[in-house]
Homo-oligomer: A and B are copies of this chain.
């Protein structure tokens, strides 16, 4: 949805353009390095945060409607106003931007509501600064729980690495989640396929249409991500270490794989339309054949019955002794010939 709240405003104006998806804004402060790991729920940044060069400070913000608070956070971490503007404007495409003080990424988390056949997207903003990472989400749902667990368990190399790796891990989680969405869509495609082949219903075409809209939304959310990750990988900003490159390349491969799948599903859904239309056409043809065979056989017979139902004084056939039986023979003969004709035309 385009946002019209902002027309003509100067760039850098912070206007929250989404729907408020949670009551308060939750702030969670995570501080870690190879040796320490602390989690703290905070309500404001200034007193709680104490940036140290050897510790990665991750501030996880959920809920973007409180523009003032986000402005404060921005001021505290010296984040560029254009970044803040983008964070609260929840209609952004995925992108990557370099600023003097850090790297800024927008990705879109996806969810497929298979009842409403709708893609729900949530904007995730990630800012990687010198010793900190800020992440911004619209909802309270725990998208990044696996990351926290990995940090807590110190599993993998995550705690030995810096903020850029954390940013990679966050985006990787989002992209991994795409696969769940794709899986659901694939299931829907399979279900629809069977429904069409078996017995197309009144709402089948609507469901195909909604599925198509869902893949359109999906593509819109994922397509620019490829370029964003590519530019992230190519960046030589000081907050990014070279060690992260191999993982970003891997992430880039995943994104391309997701794009591939979306394109495949699009083709499959277009195929569903063709299948639906040919199914309906085939059925209609069958219906028409039934009607035609039935009508064509009985129309001449009924006509004959009508003729001999006429009340003309002078109709010799009526008075013939076997007229009635002869007529039956004639009618059966006509019916037989027509049946043969239709049988040879494969209409039966």
The closest CB in chain B to the CB of A9 belongs to B146
Interface members, chain A 178-209 (any B CB < 8 Å) = 178-180, 182-183, 186, 193, 197, 199-200, 202, 205-206, 208-209
Partner of A206, one of B13, B197, B223, B305: B197
Q: How large is the interface on A (under 10, 10 to 19, 20 to 34, 35 or more residues)?
A: 35 or more
Partner of A220, one of B2, B264, B299: B264
Q: Do residues A176 and B216 form an inter-chain contact, with CB atoms below 8 A? A: no
Contacts of A155 in B (CB 8 A): 10
Give Cα A180–Cα B119 distance, bound, in whole angstroms. 23
Give Cα A178–Cα B267 distance, bound, in whole angstroms. 22
Q: Do residues B319 and A323 form an inter-chain contact, with CB atoms below 8 A? A: no
- Does residue A212 face the partner (Cβ distance < 8 Å to B)? yes
Interface stretch, picked from A43-51, A63-71, A128-136, A250-258, is: A250-258
Contacts of A348 in B (CB 8 A): none
- Does residue A147 face the partner (Cβ distance < 8 Å to B)? yes
The closest CB in chain B to the CB of A273 belongs to B274
Interface members, chain A 282-326 (any B CB < 8 Å) = 282-285, 287-292, 294-296, 298-303, 305-315, 317-319, 321-324
Q: Do residues A267 and B310 form an inter-chain contact, with CB atoms below 8 A? A: no
The closest CB in chain B to the CB of A183 belongs to B2
Contacts of A11 in B (CB 8 A): 156, 172, 247, 250
Contacts of A52 in B (CB 8 A): none
Q: Do residues A298 and B288 form an inter-chain contact, with CB atoms below 8 A? A: no
- Does residue A346 face the partner (Cβ distance < 8 Å to B)? yes
Q: Do residues B8 and A150 form an inter-chain contact, with CB atoms below 8 A? A: yes
Q: Do residues B310 and A308 form an inter-chain contact, with CB atoms below 8 A? A: yes
Provide a sorted-by-A list of 7 A–B residue pairs whose CB atoms are within 8 angstroms. Answer: A7-B173, A8-B150, A10-B157, A205-B279, A220-B264, A284-B288, A315-B324
Q: List the 4 closest pairs (A to B, CB-CB), nearest first.
A: A8-B146, A10-B156, A305-B306, A2-B179
